[in-house]
């Protein structure tokens, strides 16, 4: 499940990286392949086919939308499609604290990025397969393309989470943080 703020452009997030960095928890990078036969991801040297499952979206507040659509991920053991478009997608994950149930996910790509022989991304300023920890270098070439919130624990019931005062307060804090 993804929670979107429908009135903010993803590029606004790039202006907030200096402050967002205080809440950085982790990142992940995948190789995404799109072909006539479907969408594929290469993650941790494994190849997956993604089958989308669309669900209706719900507006829960003035500018807050919930999308419960998801992908069913199946590992593929055969060859990759011969005709595809590929991109490296990096997702930075933030939360106000370690125990927070609400995480901000910022997806994007690095301009001028290359990959090594194992399809690991090499940051333009570094010789290692991950973004550098230095604040300026980590975000310098990064271009956000999407951002959304996820509930950290998938076992939590969505309805109960949305009704909880803690969740409502945390979402309000994020909206104020991103909108300021």
Q: Which residues fall within 8 angstroms of residue 57, CB to CB, at 6 or more apart?
A: 65, 66, 67, 68, 69
Name residues of the chain where pLDDT drops below 50: 125-129
Does residue 94 contact residue 24 with C-beta atoms inside 8 Å? yes
pLDDT at residue number 101: 81
pLDDT at residue number 34: 93
pTM: 0.84
Q: Which of 50, 42, 41 is nearest to 72 (CA)?
A: 50
pLDDT at residue number 130: 57
Backbone torsions φ then ψ of 138, nearest 5 degrees:
-60, -40
Give how far the C-alpha of residue 146 lies from the chain's centroid of Cα atoms, to the nearest Å.
7
User: In terms of residue numbers, what domain contains 142?
Assistant: 2-179
The CA–CA distances, whole Å, from 50 to 39, 74, 75, 87 equal 5, 7, 9, 15
> How many structural domains comprise the chain?
1
pLDDT at residue number 121: 57
Q: What is the CATH number of the domain that holds 141?
A: 3.20.100
pLDDT at residue number 125: 45
pLDDT at residue number 127: 47
Rounded CA separation 101/174 (Å):
13
pLDDT at residue number 99: 82
Which residue's structure tokens are 């703020």?
A: 5
């Amino acid at each position: 499940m993804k929670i979107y703020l429908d009135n903010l452009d993803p590029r606004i997030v790039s202006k907030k990286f200096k402050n967002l960095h205080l809440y950085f928890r982790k990142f992940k990078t995948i190789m995404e392949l799109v072909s006539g036969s479907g969408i594929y991801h290469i993650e941790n040297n494994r190849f997956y086919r993604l089958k989308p499952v669309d669900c209706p979206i719900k507006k829960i507040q003035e500018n807050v939308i919930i999308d419960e659509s998801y992908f069913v991920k199946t590992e593929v053991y055969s060859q990759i499609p011969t005709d595809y478009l590929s991109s490296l997608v990096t997702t930075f994950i933030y939360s106000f604290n370690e125990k927070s149930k609400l995480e901000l996910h910022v997806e994007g790509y690095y301009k001028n990025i290359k990959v090594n022989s194992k399809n690991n991304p090499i940051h333009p300023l570094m010789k290692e397969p991950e973004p550098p920890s230095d604040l300026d270098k980590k975000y310098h070439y990064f271009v956000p393309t999407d951002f959304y919130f996820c509930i950290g624990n998938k076992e939590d019931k969505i309805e109960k989470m949305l009704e909880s005062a803690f969740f409502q307060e945390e979402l309000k804090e994020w909206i104020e943080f991103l909108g300021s």
